Amino acid sequence: MMDAGAPAIRVLCVDDHPLIRKGIASILANERDMQLVGEAATGSEAVRLYRSLRPDVTLMDLRMPELDGIAATQQIRREFADARIIALTSYDGDQDIYRAIDAGVRGYLLKESVHANVLHAIRTVQAGRRLMPSNVAERLSEFFPKFALTARETEVLALVADGLANREIAARIGTASGTVKIHVQNILDKLGASDRTQAVTIAIQRGILHLPQR
């Protein structure tokens, strides 16, 4: 409960799903210590609104058109280093988490737990603390020992996911087929996968690759 006369926490909600924004708006409407000051459906719109509104806390969806939430967070924090941003996502792959943390988010909240945890998340981050739910922390620890893929390996894996053979991948990225074969073997080793299909499946689960948006 906020102190009498204390200013409300000004919140910006960024998500490309109107129902998610509406749900969060209805939750915040019942809280005397919070005020929803703006809504955005794209990362580009989020950056513009942040500049004009200067919210105390921003709920930032990671997967959006035009500019994803991680890129939007990076842009905002380049201009406003003290921005308090909570990653809001349906995805809990460890690579998504690492990228969000690296971009400078102060908290991480899965959409499936928004109704139960969003108020606590906002108050925690506004108070200057960081928020990492136990299920997300467990996801991080599960893959912590794994080696990260290089940018080239991620590019190759994305083309594997598109169904391209080694020679087709080689032509696409301008290298030899034998080099692509080495990349693929390194990918399998790093992901602990037995074949290309399993590697793609693991990469999607971990957030290294993402399925195309609708």
List the chain pLDDT tens, one digit each, 214 residues: 455 567 899 999 999 999 999 999 999 999 999 999 999 999 999 999 999 999 999 999 998 878 999 999 999 999 998 999 999 887 656 677 777 887 889 888 888 888 888 999 999 999 888 887 666 666 665 554 455 788 899 999 999 999 999 999 999 999 998 899 989 988 887 887 889 999 999 888 877 887 765 4
**Is the domain of 106 the same as that of 159?**
no
Name the domain count of the chain.
2
- Position 143 scores a pLDDT of 52
Residue 180 lies in a domain: yes
pLDDT of residue 97: 77
Residues 6+ positions from 181 with CB-CB distance below 8 Å: 166
Domain assignment present for residue 2? The answer is no
- The domain of 131 spans 9-143
Q: Alpha-carbon torsion 118, 119, 122, 128, what sign? A: negative
- Residues in Cβ contact with 61 at an 8 Å cutoff, skipping those fewer than 6 apart: 14, 15, 16, 17, 20, 69, 88, 89
Domain boundary residue, one of 91, 125, 143? 143
